[in-house]
Amino acid sequence: MNNKYELHQIKTYFHTWSNYTYIILDKITKSAFVVDPAWELNKIMNKLKQINAELVAIFLTHSHYDHINLVNPLIKTLNPVVYMSKSEIDYYKFRCSNLNALNDNEIVGIGRTEIISIHTPGHTAGGMCFLLQDSLFTGDTIFTEGCGICYGDGSSAMEMFKSIQKVKSQVPKNVQVYPGHSYGKAPGHTMEQLAKENIYFQINEEENFVNFRMRKNQKGIFDFK
């Protein structure tokens, strides 16, 4: 597909944590935005310089620290606008400069590239995925191998079930999924592949989903690769 954008993924580390941060470059204008900037500022700055990009925006899938800890350094250095779901902002009282609240199904343009917001609570009270032409950035809502944990303040396995059903119904099967973490599989698997390989995509009854997501003695839930 002839995209209007380039996607650059950056794997960042802090002690035992590993995250994926994504830079998306609009090919025409050379404007760029970053999704969930975390841990290693130098990697992001070096990639922006390498691709000759102007960072104009940050998109945040949710407010957990391992997805937002470079927001303020990037604002201080490059002054981008910041986008996060309104319900996430309101529930957790998230604050930063240049903050813009998004509702479900809003469209933001960065250059010629359109980003559609999809409200996907479950992992947090106001999680949000971001849909481009053939890419979906899912944060901790959907992983290639599973979905985000649903315990903690604002979490809900019932909402996670609804969010995954929503994504399944709204996102085309050819779209590639780019999560915030990996358990070993590289980002970029398609929705069609996840439908076949991700067990949480295959459970179609809410009660069964909730019981399975909240089962006891789960191991390796933070064993990110």
Tens of pLDDT, residues 80-90 = 999 999 999 99
- Residue 37: is its pLDDT beyond 60? yes
Cβ proximity of 164 and 124 under 8 Å: no
Which carries the bigger pLDDT value, residue 225 or residue 73?
73
Cα–Cα distance for residue pair 148/141, rounded to 1 Å? 5
- CATH number assigned to the domain covering 5-213: 3.60.15.10
Provide mean pLDDT across the span 46-51.
96
Domain map of the chain by residue range? 5-213
Using one digit for the tens of pLDDT, what is the confidence trace for 172-221?
999 999 999 988 899 999 999 999 999 999 999 999 999 999 999 888 77
